[in-house]
Amino acid sequence: MRKAAGLRRLQPHRKWGYVSAMTDHASDSAPDAPTLSQLFLAFLAISLSGFGGTLPWAYRMVVEKRRWMSAAEFSEVFSLCQFLPGANVVNFSVVFGSRMRGVRGALVCLFGLVGPPFGIVLVLGALYARFADVEALGRVLAGMAAAACGLIAATAAKLAEPLIRSRAVWGWGIVLAAVLAIGLVGWPLPWVLLGLAPLSIALAWWERR
């Protein structure tokens, strides 16, 4: 992988040929890898452009605009971020940052992504706490809350597209079970996951056996 990453970092520096690929093997971060401040600014931009989903912005910045990663490398790293628990784009910032600039790169990308929105949302939270009694604000938020549910439903529908195409009946059984247990009955998540995740993985194994 290190070799592949080194070759890919060549892209913006074609005129120096393989020199930069070799230095990449020698040190932890290549001389042509983005600097810490470039990383911070890039993830700040991703974060502040992302409303209702930051993934497309991460792709646009990292792959299309800056060419720090190829599309294939992006999807490979992203599959890891979906595989493990946690917000996908937050996980992505850590893996991407560490590939570019080690631990410091990971921390810088993470803070660029989470820090500034954290500040914004705190200000909004404080305004909400202060003006929650204002009737007009309550009415506006009631409308926005109804829209927010719709956005989440659309996210679920988009994620379900591959499942619809594959026609895996067991998959729909698991989706239905999770919706009933969590959405309707309201069982605690740890117990539902403990039951459903191994069952679902076993069914996926059985299907591919």
Residue 26 or 84 having the CB closest to another protein: 84
Q: Count CB atoms within 10 A of the CB of residue 168.
A: 15
We find the least distance from the C-beta atom of residue 56 to another protein, in angstroms, to be: 10
We find the least distance from the C-beta atom of residue 11 to another protein, in angstroms, to be: 19
Residue 22 or 121 having the CB closest to another protein: 121
We find the least distance from the C-beta atom of residue 90 to another protein, in angstroms, to be: 6
- Contacts of residues 82-90 at CB distance under 8 Å and 24 or more positions apart, as own/partner, are 88/55, 89/46, 89/50, 89/54, 89/55, 89/58, 89/113, 90/114
Rounded Cα distance between 175 and 40, Å, is 38
Residue 19 or 202 having the CB closest to another protein: 202
Residue 35 or 49 having the CB closest to another protein: 49
Contact 1, 69 (CB under 8 A): no
We find the least distance from the C-beta atom of residue 12 to another protein, in angstroms, to be: 23
